[in-house]
Structure 1
Amino acid sequence: MRFLIIIPAHNEEQNLSFTLDSLLQQTHSDFKIVVVNDGSKDKTPEVIRKYTELDFRFETINLQKSEHQPGSKVVHAFKNGLQTQTLDEFDIICKFDADIILPENYLETIDHAFVNHPEYGLVGGLLYVEKDGNWVYEGNSNKHHVRGPMKAYRKECFLKMGGLRETLGWDNLDAILLENLGWKEVVIPELHVKLIKVKGADYTIKPADYYGRYFYFLGLNRFLAYIASSKEAMKSKSPAFFFDIIQSYERCRSEKLELKISKEEQKVVNDQRWKMLKKKWLKM
């Protein structure tokens, strides 16, 4: 199968070469890479140029600097890269970050998974971060969810679910929507992907505001948003955190901020969350 790999990059001169080198070393070589330079002010364009001059499989496009908002900025860059390509030429569409190191068999293993399992719509590995000189499992999500930095979609699945949404929570929305369409999200645990930079380190948004906005843009109704907020407050052992999240969520509702999902998709999200709630909390 042929891969189209889109890599948004903003000020990644220190990390990008590790990502691109790991792609050059892949045992599966049938791929095309589009690096989207998202308004970088450092030497990221020079790093990209090194690879585009070295290998015909590498391309780049340049965007003007956009506002750094969690979720929407990276998907905006990804979409701009995607629009430059003819999708008929590819079987698998990947959204990779510019600060990961892939094992050399990553694409080959993903390819075999899609070929052998027609029901697979989204496949990936597990993220590992460096701690005290060792690479350890990141642990920011459950081991059955493919994290944002290393998404690989079957093209048919990607198109049927309407692609990626330019919104906070996009990397959870995709899993919900594709599952509703009958596809499977699959994590291959032996694929260890190294994450060089900790996600969220450069976000200016406060945690409570982040969660409030996240629950709103995910399309959660008020009841489920309050339940999710209480869960985060219990994790932090701070009742005040609950009210701060709710305040952020309600502010989004009162401002009627635009959602990137339809009414039908909102229902899918809420039904899925309610199902999870009954299973985990109510044991139903």
Structure 2
Amino acid sequence: MKIAIIIPAHNEEQFIHLTLDSLVQQSLAVTQIVVVDDNSTDRTFEIASSYSTSLPIKVVQTLSSAENVPGSKVIHAFNYGLAQIDLAGFDIICKYDADLIFPSDYLEQVVDHFDARPLGEQESDRIGMVAGHCSILKEGQWEIENQNNPDHIRGALKAYRRECFEQIGGLQASIGWDTIDEMLARFYGWQVITIPELYVKHLKPTGAAYNSRSKYLQGEAFYKMRYGKLLTLITALKMAWSKKQFQLIPDYLKGYQLAQKKNLAPLVTEEQGRFIRKYRWKGIKSKLGL
């Protein structure tokens, strides 16, 4: 299968060589890599460009705000990179962060899972997205990052079957994009698969670069996904508990209220919103043993 990897990168000189080194060492070769140097002020472009003899890599530059607004900045950069390739010429489209270290068989395992259920079989068996899980360095040991979930692929390491990627309409430049993509994939009958025991080293904790101006955006995402107030409250409680940051609860709720007051346009249709709510409630009831 032909694989295209797009890597948005903003001031990643400390880590990007580790990510690219791990891609050089893959047991299954990638077809094309596009690194998008997104308004970096360090040596990101220079370092990425130095891999031109060891990887099928193209490094491009784009300008954006230096502020790391969750969802918006990274997806604008990703979409710029996506425009550099002929989408129809690839089977798998990957959006990977520039602060990851992949095990040498990572791509091979991902492709094996896509190959296990090729297109043309029963629609309910179609695999649209595949990934491993993130681990972080904590007190000298690599541990599973607490935001991992068996039915959720982290935004840092997305891989899509091209047909699935096209059907969901690509990626939304908004906070919550890495939940919307999965929900829309499921809505259209695609399976979202995470591979147990396949761990990628995540060199920066999720959200480390976010600032205080971003604190209401998660609540805005709940509104845009048509969660409704009660599901937003439950999700806010769950996320705050998992992060052990209980001050986030009023921030999430206020973000939802602000989005509602502004009457922001949802990112999914009413039918898709009903599907998302039903899926979320099913998960809640399952965890409660109902």
* TM-score, normalised by the number of residues in structure 1: 0.91
Q: Cα distance 1:233–1:146, how it changes in 2: closer, same or farther (>3 A)? A: closer
What's the % identity of the aligned pairs?
40
Give the conservation status (yes or no) of the 8 Å contact 2:70–2:214.
no
Is residue 2:94 matched to residue 1:87? no
Residues in 2 aligned to 1:10 and 1:105: alpha-carbon distance in whole angstroms: 27
The residue number in structure 2 matching 1:33 is 33
Is residue 2:199 matched to residue 1:192? yes
The residue number in structure 2 matching 1:106 is 106
Give the conservation status (yes or no) of the 8 Å contact 2:6–2:34.
yes
Residues in 1 aligned to 2:275 and 2:220: alpha-carbon distance in whole angstroms: 19
Superimposed CA distance per residue, residues 72-118 of structure 1 (whole angstroms, 9 cap, x where no aligned partner): 21111111111121112110000000000001111111111111123
The 3-state SS of whatever aligns with 1:126 is strand
- Alpha-carbon offset, residue 275 of structure 1: 2.5
Residues in 2 aligned to 1:34 and 1:50: alpha-carbon distance in whole angstroms: 13
The residue number in structure 2 matching 1:9 is 9
Give the conservation status (yes or no) of the 8 Å contact 1:11–1:44.
yes
User: Which moves more between the two structures, 141-150 or 207-216?
Assistant: 207-216
The 3-state SS of whatever aligns with 1:23 is helix
Superposed counterparts of 1:39-188, under 5 Å: 39-52=39-52, 54-55=53-54, 57-66=56-65, 67-118=67-118, 119-188=126-195
- Alpha-carbon offset, residue 10 of structure 1: 0.2
- Alpha-carbon offset, residue 65 of structure 1: 2.4
Q: Cα distance 1:242–1:23, how it changes in 2: closer, same or farther (>3 A)? A: closer
Give the conservation status (yes or no) of the 8 Å contact 2:236–2:253.
yes
Residues in 2 aligned to 1:185 and 1:99: alpha-carbon distance in whole angstroms: 23
Residues in 2 aligned to 1:90 and 1:232: alpha-carbon distance in whole angstroms: 36
The residue number in structure 1 matching 2:254 is 247
User: Which moves more between the two structures, 139-148 or 99-108?
Assistant: 139-148
Give the conservation status (yes or no) of the 8 Å contact 1:168–1:218.
no
Which of 249, 264, 279 does residue 272 from structure 1 map onto? 279
Superimposed CA distance per residue, residues 12-51 of structure 1 (whole angstroms, 9 cap, x where no aligned partner): 0000000011101111114200001110011111112211
Residues in 2 aligned to 1:76 and 1:230: alpha-carbon distance in whole angstroms: 30
Give the conservation status (yes or no) of the 8 Å contact 1:36–1:63.
yes
The 3-state SS of whatever aligns with 1:48 is helix
Query: For the aligned residues, what is the CA RMSD?
Result: 2.1
Superimposed CA distance per residue, residues 204-261 of structure 1 (whole angstroms, 9 cap, x where no aligned partner): 13685244223223331223223323445666595x7544432221111101223333
The 3-state SS of whatever aligns with 1:270 is helix
The 3-state SS of whatever aligns with 1:51 is coil
Give the conservation status (yes or no) of the 8 Å contact 2:128–2:192.
yes
Give the conservation status (yes or no) of the 8 Å contact 2:185–2:191.
yes
Is residue 2:204 matched to residue 1:204? no
The 3-state SS of whatever aligns with 2:198 is strand
The 3-state SS of whatever aligns with 2:265 is coil
Residues in 2 aligned to 1:134 and 1:174: alpha-carbon distance in whole angstroms: 32
Superimposed CA distance per residue, residues 146-195 of structure 1 (whole angstroms, 9 cap, x where no aligned partner): 21111111111111111111111111111111112111111112321001
Give the conservation status (yes or no) of the 8 Å contact 1:34–1:58.
yes
Query: Where does the alignment leave 5 or more consecutive residues of structure 2 unmatched?
Result: 119-125
Query: Where does the alignment leave 5 or more consecutive residues of structure 1 unmatched?
Result: none
Residues in 2 aligned to 1:185 and 1:275: alpha-carbon distance in whole angstroms: 16
The residue number in structure 1 matching 2:121 is none
Give the conservation status (yes or no) of the 8 Å contact 2:37–2:44.
yes
